[in-house]
Amino acid sequence: MIIMRTTRLLLAAVIIAGYSTALAAGGETKSELVKNLESLFYDSSFAAVAEKVFSVADYGVKGDGKTLDTSAIQKTIDAAAAVGGGIVTFPQGTYLCGAIFMKSNTELRIDKGVVIQAIQDDSKYPEMPTRIAGVEMTWPAALINVYEQENVRITGKGVIDGNGSYWWYKFWGKDRKGGMLKEYRRRGLRWAADYDCKRVRPVVVWKSKNVLLKDFTVKRSGFWTISVVYSDRVYIDGLIIRNNIGGHGPSSDGVNTDSSSNVLVENCDIDCNDDNLCLKSGKDADGLRVNRPAENIVYRNCITQRGHGVFTLGSETSGGMRNIEVYGLKANGTSVGIRFKSAKVRGGVVENVYFHDIEMDRVGTAFQFNMNWYPQYSYPKIPDDIPQEEIKDHWHIMTRPVMPPERGIPEFRNLRFANITVKNSTLAFDVNAYPEKPIHDLTWKNISIEAKTAGAIRHAKDWKMENVKMKAMDGKPLKLENCGNVDVPSSLK
């Protein structure tokens, strides 16, 4: 395991160095968005905290992996905050823990040899207002919470262990055929299972500003791994995420940025069981009510292993997304490459997104645009035979109709793709939008795709392609349906 991890880190370093060299050699210049974020996050004063050190050893921790250390760790954080801030440190050990809450002007330094492990006890994570999968509701606090704070750092080469198997089995059973999911499906409530089966996330940044997450490893997440919601100026650098240890957890997304702004995610290595790198901005009527976009965001120089999407936008698109740049990614065996997903009740406008300098090998579908994603989940309806006393408040929120209905049709426009190589893919294109709002104004340049099947593009217009080449092993052409002024790739010899 140590050898594999070292190899992957070396691979990440090669990718990052290669892209930096290309820029230095006169390749594509950095965008204004990238330069602005670098000037913010590369400044030594970003999220600065006082150098005064507070060791949890002075506040009664055990660090034996058996004793619950939540209270002692929280006392240490509070003590640092009480004097204006400081750095919380840990002797080597395993710290069994429930929810802890960072305070403004504090740093949690998780050094090598330190493990903060989630206790498998729901009562140790108080329910708090948050947003889950695009809907505002109460949900258990995370293991580590940055909740309405400023100038916070979580750093170090140690491990945050989500200890997630308890929550995995709660959702779908040990055999992945039972749990709450099976019962909800039986009752016609598949759409509610993800919200009612409450699972603990390792790290959540909520309504906060000036936050640095750097260098630590997260493993075995009970639910989404890193969740950044309603926050501004967040820098995520060098995280390693390993969620497929001892099983596969449902919805173990890697890094999710939700209705936040001015975010840079870079140099991460992710192996999970859902979307590896993801943007979200609210769901359906509730997301349209909030109407807060994800904007001014860069994800770059990351590796994705297993997972459902190298980079995913959606399916929660209601608040819109704009001014996004994604580059320097390398995918190895991820099930989908660049992935857009939404539904006819989501709404929102996704625009000004630029993907470039990306390598994909052994991905299932290279480019997927699914505007009618997962109907069992996306179009909730409370069955008539559910007793009124069993209907939860958030069910009413989730089933509130979008009015007028056309407001629910998402729009995707002004997207750019350049310098992308795809090898050993199963399907090149899987594109499905709506006649009312086709996916429009896309430019593709310097793309090479090798796939078993070309696939199809439905409901699109004004796609321009320059030096885009594709080889479909089955020899069948790319299908176009209800498309206008859509270029197709030339043959890759």
pLDDT on residue 10: 44
CA separation for the pair 348, 370 (Å, rounded): 15
**What is the CB-side half-sphere exposure of residue 212 using CA atoms within 13 A?**
23
CB-based burial, 135-154: b 16+ in 10 Å, e otherwise? bbbebbbbbbbbbebebbbb
The two beta strands, 127-132 and 135-140, are: antiparallel
Instruction: Give pLDDT, residue 292.
Output: 98
User: Considering just the CA atoms, what is the radius of gyration of the chain in Å?
Assistant: 22
Per-residue confidence (pLDDT) for residue 492, from 0 to 100: 79
Comparing C-alpha atoms, which of 257, 253, 269, 265 is closest to residue 217?
269
Residue 20 is predicted with a pLDDT of: 41
pTM for this model (two decimals): 0.93
Handedness of CA 196, 219, 48, 96 (dihedral sign): positive
Q: Which residue has the tokens 């493993």?
A: 219
What CA dihedral angle connects 430, 434, 435 and 437, to 10 degrees? -110
User: How many domains does the chain contain in total?
Assistant: 1
* Helices 179-186, 165-172: crossing angle, 10 deg rounding: 20
Q: Which residues have a Cβ under 8 Å from the Cβ of 200 and sit 6 or more positions away? A: 118, 122, 125, 140, 141, 142, 143, 162, 164, 167, 222, 223
Report pLDDT for 102.
98
Look at residues 272, 227, 279, 280 and name the one whose alpha carbon lies nearest to residue 251: 272
Residues recorded for the chain: 493
Which parts of the chain register pLDDT below 50?
1-27
* The pLDDT value given to residue 206: 98
Q: H-helix or E-strand containing 290? A: helix 284-290
Query: What's the pLDDT tens digit per position in 175-220?
Result: 999 999 999 999 999 999 999 999 999 999 999 999 999 999 999 9
Contacts of residues 7-12 at CB distance under 8 Å and 24 or more positions apart, as own/partner, are 8/269, 8/303, 8/305, 9/240, 9/269, 11/303, 11/330, 12/267, 12/269, 12/301, 12/302, 12/303
- Contact between 445 and 467 (Cβ < 8 Å): yes
Which DSSP string corresponds to 198-242? ----SEEEES-EEEEEES-EEES-SS-SEEEES-EEEEEES-EEE
Structural domain span for residue 290: 2-491
The 10s digit of each residue's pLDDT in 460-493 is 999 999 999 999 999 999 999 999 999 999 987 6
What does the pLDDT read at residue 76? 98
Which of 137, 281, 138, 125 shows the shortest CA–CA distance to 203?
Answer: 125
CA separation for the pair 298, 328 (Å, rounded): 11
- The CATH number for 296's domain is 2.160.20.10
Around Cβ 479, how many Cβ atoms within 10 Å?
15
